[in-house]
Amino acid sequence: MAAADAVAGSTGGRSQGAPSPGLTPAGRLILHTEASHGFGGQELRIVAETCWLLDHGWDALVAAQPDSRLWDETRRLGVPAVPVRMRSAVDVPALFALRRLIAERRVALVHTHSSIDSWLGGLAGRSRGCPVVRSRHVTIAIPRRRGLVYRLARRVITSGEAAGRVVAAAGVPAERIVAIPPGIDTARFHPGVSGDAVRRELGLDAAPVVGLVANIRGSKGHNVFLEAAQTVLAVRPAARFLIVGDGIGFEEVKGRVNAMGLAAAVSMTGFRRDIPEVMAALDVLVLPSIRSEAASQVIPQALAVGTPVIATMVGGSAELVRDGETGRLVPPGDAPALAAAILASLADPAAARAQARRGQALVRERHSLDAAMARTTAVYEDLLAGAPR
């Protein structure tokens, strides 16, 4: 494939008559690159932050795989985007397509997110003289031999302190690492959100409802959640469980629900856009991650609407949940401990809600989208002002 074929068309801005991206006198066009085909918290964060930039005087553009959910989402929202086929870290046509895009749109800064696009976007940005920022969204260890891609970036934004320690262990100098957890849109997630419509739709009535809202993959602990559900149902047979989200593990988890005889008590909703209302419909949000959780978005989302949270002591979750104060923490992979925490929350809903209210204050103070983007744009401004390499 020729280099010119790697990019095919783009979506326009969100409003008619807006200036073309990259052609404004300010010269502050941020190019986000993402090679992932999935659509979870990482991709949602890219969309939310791009929209924030556009609403706050910046220009922004997303380079995404043409057959990805992220690409579909940018088109649905009218977010400026360009489809770029990125097959591997050594995809030369994609590299040249990104270099051409940077030049034609006068990109000021490249912000990369996954491994493949961090190689391609990092090399393209550096070769065009643009500062490069890399995000690290997970807490999985980085082998030293794979840490080289982070050297292309002048700053690495990590989704929390735990992820920052992982990046530092890969050899990235501490002064290049900035921990910025994802921000929550407090205009959408707030105590006034009602979950009544979701409860009616799903036939939950007055049952206590425990939910897991996450991309369905092995690291999120869905199997542990189901094991805990069995134990809870033996004590609270009226309890109901929601699994919200989709992903590569959807059919496997669905099969496990049936095999465990839980189909009457566990509902799998698939992907939903009404997450604030879903959170408000829950009596408890559970995030039973077993391997990696840099800084969950669903934890502060639940706290923002006033829903109690139970999470595992994985990655950055302990940065968001203070055990016994703003929620409950349990060991990863420990279904009995998770079940006990769920039962305790359901047995004393007033205490659980009090913890959530304390979490609300923390979210408003430290984890709003405005707060996160103030820190992110400060990184951008620093680099665009010519900070030392």
Q: What is the CATH number of the domain that holds 263?
A: 3.40.50.2000
Q: In what order do the strands lie in the sheet with 81-83?
A: 81-83, 59-64, 29-34, 109-112, 132-136, 155-158, 177-179
Please check whether residue 190 lies inside any domain of the structure. no
Shared domain for 360 and 278, answered yes or no, is: yes
How much of the chain, in percent, has pLDDT values that exceed 90? 77
Please give the tally of structural domains in the chain: 2
Shared domain for 332 and 318, answered yes or no, is: yes
Shared domain for 177 and 225, answered yes or no, is: no
Shared domain for 345 and 275, answered yes or no, is: yes
Shared domain for 361 and 374, answered yes or no, is: no
Q: Of 85, 78, 69, 74, nearest to 8 (Cα)?
A: 85
Measure Cα distances from 106 to 6, 59, 110, 128 in Å: 19, 11, 11, 10
**What is the total residue count of the chain?**
389
Question: Token pair 């770029």 is at which residue?
Answer: 84
SS3 assignment for 86-105 = CCCCCCHHHHHHHHHHHHHC
Shared domain for 136 and 266, answered yes or no, is: no
Question: What are the percentages of helix, strand and coil residues in the chain, rounded to 5?
Answer: 45, 15, 40
d(CA 231, CA 3): 56
d(CA 387, CA 385): 6
Tens digits of residue pLDDT in 157-177: 999 898 899 999 999 999 999
d(CA 239, CA 233): 6
Tens digits of residue pLDDT in 102-135: 999 999 999 999 999 999 999 999 999 999 999 9
Residue of higher predicted confidence among 6 and 100: 100
Please check whether residue 389 lies inside any domain of the structure. no
Q: In what order do the strands lie in the sheet with 240-244?
A: 266-270, 240-244, 209-213, 284-287, 309-312, 328-330
Shared domain for 352 and 378, answered yes or no, is: no
pLDDT at 314: 85
Shared domain for 260 and 376, answered yes or no, is: no
Domain residues for 202? 196-365
Average pLDDT, the chain: 90
Residue 12 pLDDT greater than 90, yes or no:
no
d(CA 192, CA 197): 14
Tens digits of residue pLDDT in 19-48: 344 344 355 899 999 999 988 889 999 999
The sign one gets for the Cα dihedral 120, 36, 6, 54 is negative
Shared domain for 378 and 348, answered yes or no, is: no
Q: Output the CA torsion 71→72→78→80 (10° steps).
A: 10
| Max avg pLDDT among 47-51, 184-188, 201-205, 365-369 | 47-51
Q: Which stretches within the chain are classed as H helix? A: 41-55, 69-77, 92-104, 115-127, 161-169, 196-202, 222-235, 250-259, 275-281, 298-305, 317-320, 335-347, 349-366, 369-384
Shared domain for 174 and 231, answered yes or no, is: no
